[in-house]
Amino acid sequence: MKAHLTNLPLAHNELEAVARQLHMADLNLPFWGYRKPMPMHRIIRLEGEGNYTHFHFDDGTSLIVSLTLKRIESRLPANVFVRSHKKNLINLLYLQEVSPNHQPFMVVLSNGDFVEVSRRKATQFYRQIESFQKEMRMLQQGQAEA
């Protein structure tokens, strides 16, 4: 498995444009008696810990929400947010490097986080990266033609 990443990660203005094209709306998260909308395209990764999920954002902030990772995963676009491990869900818009020859299989995100990819999910994960990159190339070609 050799990964070739194309034009990722994106600059902030490009990221917002791609998020609009991918129809990435805000994710409403529960807080003390109200719901707070969070832009999906700002989420770098999510990390599950029991009944809680840690959100890691592109500005370096993080947030803990009392929902399981599985429950949040069902609310996110599956073509952009990919499960790399039972505890991690990553946003492919922030994928910087793939190290499939490294044991364990690791990915590096644009914020410098290293995230392990489980052996059981590696093949599916790699296919999702390739599919996402193909979709990104099509979006870029559409922008160039417009």
Q: What are phi and psi of 87, to 5 degrees?
A: -105, -5
Q: What is the pTM of this model?
A: 0.85
Helix 122-145 to helix 12-21 angle (10° resolution) is 100
How would you write the pLDDT of the chain (146 residues) with one tens digit per residue?
445 454 455 666 677 777 777 778 888 888 778 888 888 999 999 999 999 999 999 999 999 999 999 999 999 999 999 999 999 999 999 998 887 676 778 899 989 999 999 988 888 998 999 999 898 888 777 766 65
Burial environment of residue 56 by CB neighbours within 10 A (0 to 12, 13 to 18, 19 or more): buried
- For residues 17 and 24, give the distance between their C-alpha atoms in angstroms, rounded to a whole number: 10
State the pLDDT at residue 24.
Answer: 83
Report the 10 Å Cβ neighbour count for 74.
Answer: 9
Place of tokens 């590096």: 108
Shortest CA distance to 6 belongs to which of 98, 128, 136? 136
7 close to 15: Cβ distance less than 8 angstroms: no
Q: What are phi and psi of 64, to 5 degrees?
A: -110, 130
